[in-house]
Copies of this chain bind each other. A is one copy, B any other.
């Protein structure tokens, strides 16, 4: 009855452990004198509450399980940072998991997070089928999806408008005279990729262009695979005049293929990438990209989740707006002296569209 922990504090302050608990959690009125004595005891003992014991009793650990396909993907890196910041600001901490687009890993992590009694989950779900994640909504596990959604799963989704993003990018390419825009897609099927493909189609339709299936190339996002895929694209005849890469994970492969095929970008082939990233504006040529409000998405995801945890109903968030950041790789700006040229666009030519 006198151990350390809360009991030690209680003894030192000459009160019951219940009282200590109440001042610690502000869970009941405690008279100022007792409160003061408890606080002093806490301080002099350097008492640190045991969150495990607390969580065992309460049934939930102040932890958010975060599941992304790969923290190394710049988009998810940024998202994770924003989530961690916002979570910490409201008293939660982040348990991280990488799914690598594997359903198996995803399920294993969800199990682990639940076995930890994580207060809630934020997940960028693998695939686009409900699968076992449907269980979450059914079991009343507080969860929000980020970036991607799953058809028929009643979990709030924090996302940006992928169809719009791809539409803007494709429109831009078409407007600046590109005849054949090839789509390079990663081989996983997620709502994001589907929506982006739709946006691409919509833009084609606006220009009265047919959707040509053999301009759509799907392959593994691993660097070597993306490289070979792009080589195949470049070898197609007639050669596409521009490439729209739907995953930033594939950029390196695309650029390497340009190098190996001695393709001058944007002169020979233009390039637009979905998602911005570090150094993108210093690449030769600077990369035109669709940029998502990543940090905001992370923040909103936590806000949404915390609202669920507190039972305060919050409207499902609207899709945020992506924007097109026009740099030089799309080829819409002056190019200077012909083939082989790789000069950057002057800084003043960089502009944004929404």
A24 within 8 A of B: no
Q: Is A201 an interface residue (CB 8 A)?
A: no
A279 & B251 in contact (Cβ 8 Å cutoff)? yes
Bound Cα distance from A255 to B280, whole angstroms? 12
Is A268 an interface residue when CB atoms closer than 8 A count as contact? Answer: no
Chain B residues whose CB sits within 8 angstroms of the CB of A280 once the complex forms: 279
Number of copies: 2
- Which residues of B sit under 8 angstroms from A74, Cβ to Cβ? 278
Pick out which of these stretches binds chain B: A50-58, A140-148, A232-240, A309-317: A50-58
Q: Which of B52, B71, B81, B251 contacts A61 (CB 8 A)?
A: B52
Interface residue tally for chain A (C-beta within 8 Å): 50
User: Is the CB–CB distance between B347 and A344 below 8 Å?
Assistant: no
Q: A136 on the interface (CB 8 Å rule)?
A: no
Q: Looking across the interface, which residue of chain B has its beta carbon closest to that of A116?
A: B51
A123 CA to B96 CA, complexed, in Å: 16
- In the bound complex, residues from chain B placing their C-beta under 8 Å from that of A80 are 71, 96
Interface presence of A259 (CB below 8 A):
yes
- The answer to whether B115 touches A51, judged by C-beta atoms less than 8 angstroms apart, is yes
Flag whether A283 is at the interface (Cβ < 8 A): yes
Chain B nearest CB, measured from A239 CB (Å)? 21
A332 CA to B255 CA, complexed, in Å:
23
Mark out the residues of chain A between 72 and 114 whose CB falls within 8 Å of any chain B CB in the assembled complex.
Answer: 72, 74, 77-78, 80-81, 84-85, 88, 93-98, 111-112, 114
- Residues on B with C-beta less than 8 A from A112 are 51, 93
Tell me the bound Cα distance from A278 to B136 in angstroms. 35
Closest residue of chain B to A280 (Cβ to Cβ) is B279
Q: Is A343 at the interface (CB under 8 A from chain B)?
A: yes
Q: Which chain B residue has the least Cβ–Cβ distance from A258?
A: B282
Q: How far is the CA of A93 from the CA of B66 in the complex (A)?
A: 12
Question: What 10 A-B pairs come out closest when comparing CB atoms?
Answer: A284-B284, A279-B279, A51-B115, A255-B282, A52-B56, A282-B283, A72-B81, A77-B77, A94-B96, A96-B96
